[in-house]
Amino acid sequence: MKSIKGPAIFLAQFADDEPPFNSLKNMCEWASGLGYKGIQIPTWDGRLIDLKAAAESKTYCDEFQGTAAEYGLEITELSTHLQGQLVAVHPAYDIMFDGFAPEEVRNNPKARTEWAVQQLKYAAQASHNMGIKAHATFSGALIWHTVYPWPQRPAGLVDTAFKALANRWMPILDHFDDYGVDVCYEIHPGEDIHDGITFERFLEATGNHQRANILYDPSHYVLQQLDYLAFIDIYHERIKMFHVKDAEFNPTGRAGVYGGYADWIDRPGRFRSLGDGQVDFSGIFSKLTQYDFDGWAVLEWECCIKDGDQGAREGAKFISDHLIKVTEKAFDDFAAGGVDEDLNRKIIGLS
């Protein structure tokens, strides 16, 4: 067995124009001071990284990693969640998702998609330059608006949608393969890949591409009422990244999974700071360790109640307390009698 690395923290929810959240150096000092050993980088945030420069310059990447190393930190992974979302956008969402793109490609879906694809390719090259083997992203969605089948979906619609989604991603997946990096899709409502079945559909449509993998985040499974421990048993070979995020689901007589368009604080399903929700992290860390996951345990903080700074401070200790140092010997070795083939044959009646 192998041990999970950590604790690490995803910087996306904390980046800001005010110090200490306004630069890579300042955020490294902040994260290190809280006890984190790694940081995950949102590549759309120019305050933290120049993605194009990272793709084109090994020197830039060495200096980038050197800044983190000054504070005892590693760059765990790069993220293109926002850019990945723009690889596939249904026209109904054009206006809202345009905000994820630079102004020069807004109101132009074709140009926006081309920009997003190039961003992903930059991320593959940048990850390679940093010696990072896994990358975080979203799949985007062409068919999410039909998730609840009313009106009923026409025959063949789902197959057509996943074929189209795979066609958009295949050149990206091949590019990542060229650079030896896994694409880890965060299984997430709002994406066409939002549970195990949809991941399998996508995988089949890509010809079981070896670089199509999973960013495991149990919070999204709680909100869907999906068995997040069984998910690990089924898909552990494809789980290459891990977001440690808590959640709770408390249905009422008025609202359930869909939440009634309520604000987050009033929804039955809510994201919470680590330890404040319902996720069985002891079970998760045990299963991931059992299956030899040796990637990073990365805090993704999202909570509608608790302050982020408190959540980050508590999160470092929470993850550290759940990390498992794998045993190097069996607990019952003290009673072992050594190997005796004649004795073994006698025990099973072959002597």
Each domain of the chain, given as residue ranges in start order, spans: 5-347
Q: Residue 187 and residue 228: Cα distance in Å, rounded?
A: 11
- Residue type (1 letter), 82: L
pLDDT by position in tens, the chain (length 351): 899 999 999 999 999 999 999 999 999 999 999 999 999 999 999 999 999 999 999 999 999 999 999 999 999 999 999 999 999 999 999 999 999 999 999 999 999 999 999 999 999 999 999 999 999 999 999 999 999 999 999 999 999 999 999 999 999 999 999 999 999 999 999 999 999 999 999 999 999 999 999 999 999 999 999 999 999 999 999 999 999 999 999 999 999 999 999 999 999 999 999 999 999 999 999 999 999 999 999 999 999 999 999 999 999 999 999 999 998 888 777 767 778 888 899 989 996
Rounded to whole angstroms, the Cα distance separating 150 from 157 reads: 13
Please tell me the distance from the alpha carbon of residue 164 to that of residue 143, in angstroms, as a whole number.
10
Task: Kindly state which CATH superfamily the domain 5-347 is placed in.
Answer: Divalent-metal-dependent TIM barrel enzymes (3.20.20.150)
pTM: 0.95
pLDDT of residue 330: 80
Q: What is the pLDDT of residue 339?
A: 82
| Token pair in block for residue 23 | 């630069």
| C-alpha to C-alpha distances, 285 to 194, 222, 319, nearest whole angstrom | 22, 16, 10
